[in-house]
Amino acid sequence: MISWFVPQASTFAADVDSLIFLILVIVGAWFLLAEAVLFWLILRFRKREGVRSKYVTGDVKSEKRWVSYPHYAVLVFDVVIVVAALRVWNDVKVTDPVPEETVRVVSQQWAWTFVHAGPDGRLDTADDIKTVDDLYVQQNRTYRFELHSKDVLHSFSVPAFRLKQDAVPGRMIAGWFKPTLAGDFDIQCAEICGIGHGLMPARIHVQTATAHQEWLREHGVMPALAANTGAAGQGGAR
Amino acid sequence: MSVSTLRLYAVLGLLGGAVAGAGCSVAQGATASGEQLYRACASCHGEAGAGDATFGAPRIAAMPRWYVASQLQRFKAGTRGRHFDDAEGLRMRAMAMQMGTQAEIDAVASYVASLPAGTSPAAVAGADPAVGQTKFAVCAACHGPKGEGNEALNAPPLAGMDDWYVARQLRKFQSGVRGAVKDDPIGAQMAGMALTVQPAEVDSVAAYVHALPR
Ligand SMILES: [Cu+2]
């Protein structure tokens, strides 16, 4: 149902949606049942001529059941929901599949910047591709991301992936995703991070293998900027 | 943006609109005044436009309207402040995006230009004024002998500008963090000129510029 609004673009997107749907069904069914019982009781015991109202103390076993049975049901369904939730949590946040590539995601006030491994597939080498606002990944490839923050708390949220991870200054937080759907999807900051919080939109471009190879070929070698020679690396540039 | 994302935004927008319509007084479509728009700037540049070095926000009060407007446009367009290593620029870029229309850019630029001028205390240490003066001869070709600026050459006034800011911008130009965007002759021109200043002389030039009377 959520996929009517936001596509499921990662391997675990459908699992997250199923979990939310499961909770909706359980809670929704009980909501409807409870409302039905409530209105039935209101109707059944409405004011009638010649019938005196009665104070119910709840001591009688047959009356107490109306509370205790639903209570047991709540406990049972809680267990169902917790088990289902932990399975998804374990899959998304705990297991650490062997990545085929690593990207570095850097959040700051107020922008997302990204370091792609480049043609050699390794970070922190000369052919790394650094971008602002745009993250390029290949469809059906397992990515590990290393999330950083340069200043305050941010949150790396990719709604189409059903992925959200807080970024904490001073820490590197790793996670993973595997995009399944080619296309361009939103990256949002999901943690209030200052006056420009709403103004740091970015995009993740999930490309087919050929398109991604093409992109790599185009951007793989750092363009030799005239200004980047000579005076480069003096520090103090920021 | 995909159709389904749009649909989600439409739903959220309707919900938000219902809430906002109930109690919000800002009318959609009406252009806010420069003073109102400046509130977004004030959190870093200060109410009076005096700047704040802690945020990397320079003094902007009394900067010419044409320069403020052009920089806001450049931040929005990504010709300035869209470099991976430009922390302050990336921050300013988001702020510039708040100025949605040309009318808003002009309004806030006029307001900034109308703020009373002033000079911040010197912040750069170890500068040699003699070296700064000699080196400034190159800058004077565009920025004017008294650092008064020249709109025709896209050269902003420099006299009295924050020294830490001038030094930082020179270093950004030198390292390609600023002025290295493709098809941007203005940035490229200043980046080339910045290379005429030796790394050790940057602070001296900045101090000299800062000391120039407005
Ligand atoms: Cu943020």
pLDDT tens readout for residues A160-196: 999 999 999 999 999 999 999 999 999 999 999 998 9
Locate the chain A residue with the closest alpha carbon to B181: A225
Q: Average of pLDDT values for B118-138?
A: 88
DSSP letter at A127 equals T
Instruction: Give the per-residue pLDDT at A58.
Output: 82
Mutation site for A-interface testing, chosen from B7, B90, B182 by largest number of A Cβ within 10 Å = B90
Cβ atoms B174, A234 nearer than 8 A:
yes
Chain B environment of A200 (Cβ under 8 Å): 94
E strand or H helix at B194:
helix B185-194
Average pLDDT, chain A: 89
Q: Average of pLDDT values for A30-59?
A: 90
Question: Please, what is the average pLDDT of chain B?
Answer: 86
Which residue in B has a C-alpha nearest to residue A105's C-alpha? B84
Cα(A133) to ligand 1 centroid in Å equals 12
pLDDT of residue A118: 87
Task: Tell me which chain A residues have a C-beta less than 8 angstroms from the C-beta of B195.
Answer: 227, 230-231
pLDDT at A158: 96
Residue A45 reports pLDDT greater than 50 = yes
Question: With an 8 Å Cβ cutoff, are B175 and A160 in contact?
Answer: no
Residue B23 has pLDDT above 50, yes or no: no
The three-point CA angle B198-B211-B171 to 5° equals 30
How far is the C-alpha of A206 from the C-alpha of A135, rounded, in Å?
8
Q: Which of B17-21, B67-71, B201-205 has the lowest mean pLDDT?
A: B17-21
Identify the pLDDT of residue A234.
33
* CB contact B54 to A (< 8 Å): no
Contacts of B72 in chain A (CB under 8 A): none
Q: How many angstroms separate the Cα of A11 from the Cα of each of A8, B16, B118, B139?
A: 8, 31, 58, 57
- Taking contacts as CB-CB distances below 8 angstroms, the residues of chain A near B10 are none
Taking an 8 Å cut-off on Cβ atoms, the answer to whether B90 and A108 are in contact is yes
The pLDDT of residue B2 is 52
In the prediction, which pLDDT does A141 show?
A: 95
pLDDT at A226 over 80: no
Cβ of B22 under 8 Å from any chain A Cβ? no
Can you list the alpha helix ranges (DSSP code H) found in B46-184?
A: 65-77, 87-97, 102-114, 129-143, 163-175
Query: Which of B11, B165, B174 is the best residue to mutate to test the A interface, defined by the most A CB atoms within 10 Å of its own CB?
Result: B174
Residue B177 has pLDDT above 50, yes or no: yes
What pLDDT is attached to residue A237?
34
